[in-house]
Amino acid sequence: MNAAAHLARQLVSAGVVIVSGLARGIDAASHQAALEAGGKTIAVLGTGIDLVYPRSHVRLAREIAERGLLLTEFPPGTPPLAANFPIRNRVISGITLGTVIVEATSRSGSLITARTAAEQGREVVTVPGSIFAPGFEASIDTATVSAAVRSVTGLPWRSRTMASTVTRSMPERNT
- Residue 19, CA atoms < 13 Å, CB-side half-sphere: 27
What residue ranges do the domains of the chain occupy? 2-156
For residue 71, give the nearest of 91, 96, 100 by alpha carbon: 91
Q: What is the pLDDT of residue 125?
A: 85
Residue range 93-97: mean pLDDT, rounded: 92
- d(CA 150, CA 166) in angstroms, rounded, equals 16
- Report residue 98's pLDDT band, with 50, 70 and 90 as the boundaries: confident
Question: Residue 152 pLDDT > 90, yes or no?
Answer: no
Q: What is the pLDDT of residue 163?
A: 37
> How do 17-20 and 163-167 pair as beta strands?
parallel
- d(CA 9, CA 35) in angstroms, rounded, equals 9
Of 17 and 110, the one with more pLDDT: 17
Neighbours of 60 (CB within 10 A): 19
Residue range 63-88: mean pLDDT, rounded: 97
Q: How many residues does the chain have?
A: 175
The answer to whether the predicted template modeling score (pTM) of the entire model surpasses 0.85 is no
φ, ψ dihedrals at 74, nearest 5°: -95, 145
Min mean pLDDT across 2-11, 69-78, 84-93, 97-106 is at 97-106
Q: What is the pLDDT of residue 170?
A: 30
User: Which DSSP string corresponds to 75-133?
Assistant: PTT----TTHHHHHHHHHHHTEEEEEEES--TT-THHHHHHHHHHTT-EEEEE-S-TTS
Min mean pLDDT across 70-74, 117-121, 126-130, 136-140 is at 136-140
Pick the CATH number of 2-156 from 3.40.50.450, 3.40.1260.10, 2.130.10.10, 1.20.1300.10: 3.40.50.450
Question: Residue 167 pLDDT > 80, yes or no?
Answer: no
Give the percent of the chain with pLDDT over 90: 55
Q: How far is CA 101 from CA 3, 48, 96, 149, in A?
A: 11, 25, 13, 14
